[in-house]
């Protein structure tokens, strides 16, 4: 099942205030995505450092 971001319908001529709010929302979503990516990287690093693969299972090579 595909998921899509919600669609926001704008008036024919949105105000600068509305455009600024949408820009702030987009920036916030981008910042959150970057944080999530960094957290995922750290978690994978911890898994690998403890001899587990990216799925949390014991690695075959034991490293």
Q: What is the pLDDT of residues 1-59, one digit of tens each?
A: 566 777 777 767 778 888 899 999 999 999 999 999 999 999 999 999 999 988 888 98
Model confidence, pTM: 0.60
Question: CA 31 to CA 52: how far, in whole Å?
Answer: 29
């Amino acid at each position: 099942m595909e998921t899509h971001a919600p669609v926001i319908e704008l008036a024919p001529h949105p105000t600068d205030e509305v455009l600024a709010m949408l820009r702030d929302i987009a920036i916030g979503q981008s910042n959150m995505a970057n944080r999530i990516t960094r957290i995922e990287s750290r978690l994978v690093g911890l898994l690998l450092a403890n001899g587990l693969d990216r799925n949390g299972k014991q690695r075959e090579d034991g490293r």
